[in-house]
Structure 1
Amino acid sequence: MPFPHFQGRFRLMATLLVTVVQLPPVLWLCVRTRTPLPALVALCFSWPYLRQLESPWQTTPRSGSTTLALGWWCACLVFDLLMLPAVLAIRAGAPEWATWGLAGAVALVLGGDAVLGWPRLRRRTVCIEGLEPGLEGYRIGQLSDVHCGPQVPEARVAAWVKRLNGLDLDLVTVTGDLITHGPSHVEAVARALGGLRAKDGAFVCMGNHDYFTDGEHLVRELERHGLDVLRNRGVVVERGTARLFVAGVDDTWTSRHDLGRALASRPEGAPTVLLAHDPDLFPQAQAQGVELTLSGHTHGGQLGVPGVRRWSLARFITRWTAGLYREGRSWLYVNRGAGTTGPPVRLGAPAELAVITLRRA
């Protein structure tokens, strides 16, 4: 449990933040309706959620009231961003009622999607020089940042697994942060991910949240359910005469990673797929000639400007925020993740499952 003074400070900061976010639309609604009713409604949405906050990583089970509160705050944030364009449009001659109505509708739709959105399937193609014909069209599935816990129960993880299994993939990967924290959902996430199926197997690397519990216990459970956990090591996958080297590094935040060990047994000439939860390892992977690095960790920021990956909270922790990057012959794909940590909200950074297809350059 956090210290009491930390709880108080965090709750105060959270209250100030949501007050600032809600103030413009609430005042606008109060003026329009000529009543304090919108302010009272906002208070009813916000106070029950705020009063039970303890830390940024809290994982209180989701309820209808918390979903409403979070959806309302996201809608308010979108409305804040739309207010200036709406005012400019009205001054340019647009009908006032239609302009404000459109802004409100967009805010409600995006606010609802922020708390209820289902992971989107992202399909990307990576071209590798010298790829052997046996690996042409090879498809790799990626699930990342599951964060199984009270906000992401086992059944939801199992649904993501079922969706990936339905794609008949060649290989499937899970790139870290399987749990949120603590031991409560270790067995649950291992059971759910143990259902992953692909022609050449399912591989996992560890993330920082995976050591917010007994990491060794988590690894044992994953392996017991048939998953291959790559901790600073790699394996060779064969497809006919073609070979693919699949490697994984351990967590960077606890300094367990060792890229040299992970690549030590790499066969000469075999293209490499590296599982590295932290995308900041990409420059090192590029220097080692790794063709494709699969990462997560950033969540795409969880909060950002829709459609602009550079404008998100992830920019505060890394330059590799989300999506596909290329440096020379090396590629990096940063998965926005399927789960969340902290508030179960994604605005402008939708949850995702990814499929990467290998092609000969």
Structure 2
Amino acid sequence: MIFALVVVPVLGLFFAVHRYLWCRLVRDTTTPGSRPRRTGTAAAYVLPLTALAALLAGRAGAPFPLQQALAWPGYLWLALVLYLTLALLAGEAVRAVWLRAVAGREPRRRTPSTAVTIPAPTPSPDPPHAPSPSPSSAPTLLPPHTPALPPLAAPPRRLFIARAVAAGASLAATAAVGYGTATTLRGPTVKRVTIPLVKLPRAAHGFRIAVVSDIHLGPILGRAHTRRIVETINRTDPDLVAIVGDLVDGSVADLAPAAEPLRELRSRHGAYFVSGNHEYYSGAAQWVDHVRELGIHPLENARTELPGFDLAGINDLAGATEHAGPDYDLALGGRDPARAVVLMAHQPVTIHDTVRHGVDLQLSGHTHGGQMWPFTYVAAATNPTVAGLERYGDTQLYVTRGAGAWGPPVRLGAPPDITVVELASVRA
């Protein structure tokens, strides 16, 4: 029942948006029965079905090559739908102003004066063989010399305006999606932030953690994406690598080759991993085993001691569906409270529980920084911190925007990043 209450309105909105796009991009810009009209109408049926197929193929267990074939057109079309809709809605105002201006310049249609019936002259007795009265002498409803009405000129102009708005919206949407796709495929940039910790000893001053999250290996982002990330991290020469969830969107069977370059991560104290919500859609237990095989240490509600501080990790909130949710007592119980503790937790919404457990720093991802404007506002409204560093009581929270993309491989207004967090001792 809950599923139906959610899915039915979403599908209704999905197809309503496509109906609107068809009206503005096809119906209003083409003539009935023309080849462009037929082609546009066919695309209006095929493209939304392709997008739905891309979204559902993985969960339906479709072969991975089919998922890959559907992913690019399906997900890119979803991104285009967003920006086409926004551009066309903005174009509605342009259309209204333009049509008003055009209407003001058109010659007004002249209205004839009140019709007057002009009776024909009273006929006198016709002489024998008199000619018949001419047609002009018949009764008429119009006065003499009434000019013909001018033809309407509005339809051609309306067609021009509709095509101009559609072309402008299509160009803007395509440019936005193209730029966002290029931003994603270029790979993440490196950010650097220094975070002082009161309990950090002087010996650990300058300890550098390369924080990466939301890599999202899947049908679109594969082995080349992983290699770019690994090379970027290794160039920073970190002391430790923290992979903060959402590594994958798919099974080990399909994505093990894409994850293989993670084996080449280099750091002085190793690489650590905590689950994100997408691991629980993809077989979390299998992925935990696989990252261990790649030489990465999973922290499943666990803690390890490092020089100068403790590093802890909790499972993602989505693990609660498998009775494997976050357990702070298990991760932090029995530790020395005099030592600083850094916690890896995928979702920043856990920060309030983290504060209650006396954690010094939480490292998170999940938000993607919103990934695509205007979803940046949605991410900001649903997370305590959408990106960057903030303080909550005695605990600091750092949220990375992530290195990949979910769904459309498009980042607009929220470029991907890998963050090198340098821990600073206040005693140094």
Q: Bin the TM-score by the shorter chain.
A: 0.7 to 0.9
1:323 alignment partner, one of 363, 388, 392: 388
Partner in structure 1 of residue 314 of structure 2:
249
Deviation at 1:237, TM superposition (A): 1.5
The whole-number CA distance in structure 1 between the counterparts of 2:47 and 2:17 is 13
Counterparts of residues 24-35 of structure 1 (less than 5 Å): 26=25, 30=29
Post-superposition Cα deviations, 1:241-270, rounded to whole Å, max 9, x if no partner, equal xx1211101122222211122112533332
1:305 alignment partner, one of 340, 364, 374: 374
Whether the aligned pair in 2 keeps the contact of 1:273 and 1:294 (CA below 8 Å) is yes
Q: Is 1:127 aligned with 2:127?
A: no
Stretch moving more, 59-68 or 351-360: 59-68
Stretch moving more, 335-344 or 288-297: 335-344
Deviation at 1:230, TM superposition (A): 0.6
- Counterpart code for 1:127: I
2:272 alignment partner, one of 203, 206, 219: 203
Whether the aligned pair in 2 keeps the contact of 1:304 and 1:312 (CA below 8 Å) is no
Partner in structure 2 of residue 169 of structure 1:
238
What is the DSSP-based 3-state SS (H/G/I as helix, E as strand, rest coil) of the residue aligned with 1:234? Answer: strand
Post-superposition Cα deviations, 1:75-103, rounded to whole Å, max 9, x if no partner, equal 4145246547978999xxxxx9xx99998
Q: Is 1:114 aligned with 2:180?
A: yes
What is the DSSP-based 3-state SS (H/G/I as helix, E as strand, rest coil) of the residue aligned with 1:30? Answer: coil
Q: Is 1:336 aligned with 2:401?
A: yes
* TM-score, structure 2 normalization: 0.66
The whole-number CA distance in structure 2 between the counterparts of 1:199 and 1:88 is 63
Whether the aligned pair in 2 keeps the contact of 1:303 and 1:312 (CA below 8 Å) is no
**Closer/same/farther in 2, CA of residues 21 and 61 from structure 1, 3 Å limit:** farther
Deviation at 1:178, TM superposition (A): 1.8
Q: Which runs of 5+ in 2 are unaligned?
A: 59-66, 99-160
- Counterpart code for 1:30: T
The whole-number CA distance in structure 2 between the counterparts of 1:301 and 1:230 is 27
- Counterpart code for 2:397: L
Partner in structure 1 of residue 415 of structure 2:
350
The whole-number CA distance in structure 1 between the counterparts of 2:273 and 2:207 is 18
The whole-number CA distance in structure 1 between the counterparts of 2:92 and 2:383 is 30
Deviation at 1:74, TM superposition (A): 4.4
Deviation at 1:219, TM superposition (A): 1.8
**Closer/same/farther in 2, CA of residues 340 and 120 from structure 1, 3 Å limit:** closer
- Counterpart code for 2:315: D
- Counterpart code for 2:335: R
* TM-score, structure 1 normalization: 0.77
Structure richer in helix, relative to its length: 2
What is the DSSP-based 3-state SS (H/G/I as helix, E as strand, rest coil) of the residue aligned with 1:151? Answer: coil
Q: Which runs of 5+ in 1 are unaligned?
A: 91-95
Whether the aligned pair in 2 keeps the contact of 1:25 and 1:76 (CA below 8 Å) is no
**Closer/same/farther in 2, CA of residues 282 and 42 from structure 1, 3 Å limit:** farther
Whether the aligned pair in 2 keeps the contact of 1:302 and 1:346 (CA below 8 Å) is yes
Q: How many residues align?
A: 343
Structure number, greater radius of gyration: 2
Identity %: 27
Post-superposition Cα deviations, 1:17-43, rounded to whole Å, max 9, x if no partner, equal 542673686379839xxx995995586
Deviation at 1:231, TM superposition (A): 0.8
What is the DSSP-based 3-state SS (H/G/I as helix, E as strand, rest coil) of the residue aligned with 1:184? Answer: helix
Whether the aligned pair in 2 keeps the contact of 1:57 and 1:341 (CA below 8 Å) is no
CA-atom RMSD, angstroms? Answer: 4.1
Whether the aligned pair in 1 keeps the contact of 2:246 and 2:279 (CA below 8 Å) is yes
